[in-house]
Amino acid sequence: MPFRSVRNQLSYIGRNLNPGPQISRLTRGTKLGGDSSYMRAMIDSMQDFQLKREYAELEEEAAAGASKGDYSQIHLIHMATHQRTVIHIGSSIGRSVNEVVLHRPTHPEVRLQFTQVNPQRYGAPFMMEYVDGGARISVDADDVVQMAPISHGSIITIDKDEYQCELYAYGTLPPVARLNAGWVTASGPVRPQNEDAVGIFQHPRGYLFAVADGVGGGEAGELVSEFAIQYLLATFNANIRHDIAWDAIYREALKNINNAVRTFSNLSEFATAGTTLTCLVIKGWDAFICHVGDSRLYYYNGGVLRQLTTDHSMTRMVDDGRLNEDGSARRPIKRLVLSKAIGKADAIEPDLITLRLQPGDRFIICSDGMAERVKLEEMQKLLLEVPAHRLPEQLMNLANERYNSDNISVIVLEVTSKALFRDSWRAIPSDRVYTNYDTRWTLKLTPMNKPRTVTGAARTGCVRLILLIAVIAFSVMVGRSLVQTASSAYAPTPTPTLSVTPTQTLTRTPTVTPTLTVTRTPTVTPTATLIPTSTLNPIPTSTLAALNSRPNLLAAPGTSGGSN
């Protein structure tokens, strides 16, 4: 490998070990390391070192907070339903005051404010203020008029509903929610190839989980869904270490992905190429959801599983172009058609949702192949009975038993209630499953009906054309040299030796011996007609303005992964 190439690659690695805040700003068409096993091993080693350092910093923060007895969360647990409401508070997280609104069918809405105080002075680490509401409130059987001290185990009664208070400190509950996870993706029993793609990013300070269901037929669906997943993983890699609003990151990323897919469709025969995308980012104890299309995200909280996303689809009468046995046209059939998806329109506005996580919360992210075959009640029952790392395959098998005719992808997540700083599982890439950020991704979409590289015949034509131009240029130089030589050696009886006929101008003087003055003006104008042996056409490529990636998606049998 040339020294300059190695130097540039090492410089890129150095710049990106600790990048500044950025939203989807990656080098266009970045391809670092190539197929070099040495470079690959070096990059992996540096990434592992970075992750170990991140984990060590988190544990140091937790130990420092625990030594101060500094609380980080207040959990209000409804005694009847066991639903938790989590309040993030404490100087270690930079928030000494926080408010919460509680509302249930059995009591009116109340607004409470919690403030961190000196326990030696007030006899409790927190004070609760009754800010607003129309209910009667008591703490440990004492009515609250305005304020009351809150300790671990305190019982807050709102009318007839009771909430138990649990206080968590660093070291008891980690600063980052930890998950048990499992996933699976497969082409299904009918489809010849898998156009779904699954993305997983596992980082000490957060996670990304995403499902994309490609549409467009041929190879377009798998290319586009892979491209969207890889772009999101690269974006997460560039931004997870920085405090940037994920709503802004999502909007910028999806705008760039959509622009690339639209360009890809315009330059290819796949006019309907696109993909759905449902993504969950967890940072700290906050969950950020981005959704477009008809893949789904289900959320289990407080003993209830519900669909959190909205399907962007509608029923339409569609003519599939097929004929009856007698040759007559078939009647249009009802079919679900996407009303919003990546690549469907020039502009895209995703659905964005933000949640505050609680221990015991669970998520199911899936493509429509599973959602259309398994009922919500069945999912909830299995969610409570089967471990997260085994549930995806069980849901897939259940859908396939019910004549699933589509690709299927399922991710199951469970927020642990244990004080863990490291996961017991590791995201490993497999067929149609993309993990973390691989620097070998080109992040570029190339139209399928255009050549990806210059062919051998085209290269031969280029060489021939260059050689022909060089021969003509050499002939011109030789001709000019011969003209100059002939002009300087002219005699009274000229015998031109040039291959071109010079123009002579004779001027006679009135003397006995005539003197000939010859002025030669050689004009060499070679006219060569070039007949190129090949015609090179510009190769239009669709590149992202900020994060470019080609969509690579190949059908394959189902793969699964998860925690042990």
CATH number assigned to the domain comprising residue 103? 2.60.200.20
- Same domain for 193 and 152: no
Nearest C-alpha neighbor of 276 from the set 347, 370, 341, 197 = 341
Output the six-digit token pair for 393: 């395959």
Flag whether 558 is in a domain: yes
- Same domain for 120 and 259: no
Full DSSP string of 393-445: HHHHHHHHHTT--S-EEEEEEEE--S--SS-S-----BTTEEES--TT----B
pLDDT score recorded for residue 21:
38
Angle, CA of 300, 400 and 340, to the nearest 5°: 60
Do the beta carbons of residue 280 and residue 258 sit within 8 Å?
Answer: no
Q: Domain of residue 184: give its range.
A: 179-317+333-452+543-562
The SS3 of residue 75 is strand
Q: Which residue has the tokens 């130097």?
A: 7
- Same domain for 119 and 183: no
pTM over 0.85: no
Identify the CATH number of the domain in which residue 215 sits: 3.60.40.10
pLDDT score recorded for residue 525:
41
- Same domain for 225 and 137: no
- Same domain for 130 and 188: no
Q: Which residue has the tokens 């906050």?
A: 286
Flag whether 519 is in a domain: no
| Distances in whole angstroms, Cα of residue 510 to Cα of each of 23, 345, 507, 513 | 91, 90, 10, 9
- Same domain for 157 and 236: no
Flag whether 466 is in a domain: no
d(CA 156, CA 141): 8
Do the beta carbons of residue 28 and residue 543 sit within 8 Å?
Answer: yes
Q: Answer with the one of 169, 196, 214 that is the final residue of a domain.
A: 169
Do the beta carbons of residue 80 and residue 62 sit within 8 Å?
Answer: no
Flag whether 437 is in a domain: yes
Q: Answer with the one of 117, 145, 169 that is the final residue of a domain.
A: 169
Phi, psi of 430 (to 5 degrees): -150, -170
pLDDT score recorded for residue 353:
94
Flag whether 402 is in a domain: yes
pLDDT score recorded for residue 429:
93
Do the beta carbons of residue 531 and residue 468 sit within 8 Å?
Answer: no
CA atoms within 13 A on the CB side of 19: 20
- Same domain for 227 and 133: no
d(CA 429, CA 438): 10
- DSSP lists the bridge partners of residue 435 as 200
Phi, psi of 209 (to 5 degrees): -130, 130
Q: Which one-letter DSSP state was computed for residue 318?
A: E
Output the six-digit token pair for 342: 């990546």
- Same domain for 214 and 271: yes
Flag whether 1 is in a domain: no
Output the six-digit token pair for 213: 């269901």
Residue 10, number of CB atoms within 10 A of its CB: 13
d(CA 288, CA 290): 7
List, in order, residues 6 or more apart from 219 with CB less than 8 Å away. 448, 553
Alpha helices in 413-559 (DSSP H): 456-488
| Distances in whole angstroms, Cα of residue 25 to Cα of each of 21, 28, 232, 239, 434 | 9, 9, 12, 9, 20
- Same domain for 398 and 299: yes
Q: Answer with the one of 169, 195, 221 that is the final residue of a domain.
A: 169
- Same domain for 245 and 126: no
d(CA 311, CA 296): 7
Number of domains in the chain: 2
Phi, psi of 437 (to 5 degrees): -130, 120
Flag whether 32 is in a domain: no
- Same domain for 153 and 235: no
If the chain, 564 residues long, is cut into consecutive pieces of 10 residues, what is the mean pLDDT of each piece? 40 36 38 51 70 75 59 87 82 75 89 89 90 92 92 93 85 76 91 92 94 81 94 94 89 95 85 91 92 96 92 71 65 72 93 89 94 93 94 94 90 86 88 92 71 40 66 74 55 37 35 36 40 34 36 40 56
Do the beta carbons of residue 210 and residue 236 sit within 8 Å?
Answer: no
pLDDT score recorded for residue 26:
41
Strands 433-435, 196-203: parallel, antiparallel or unpaired by DSSP?
parallel
- Same domain for 281 and 427: yes
Flag whether 266 is in a domain: yes
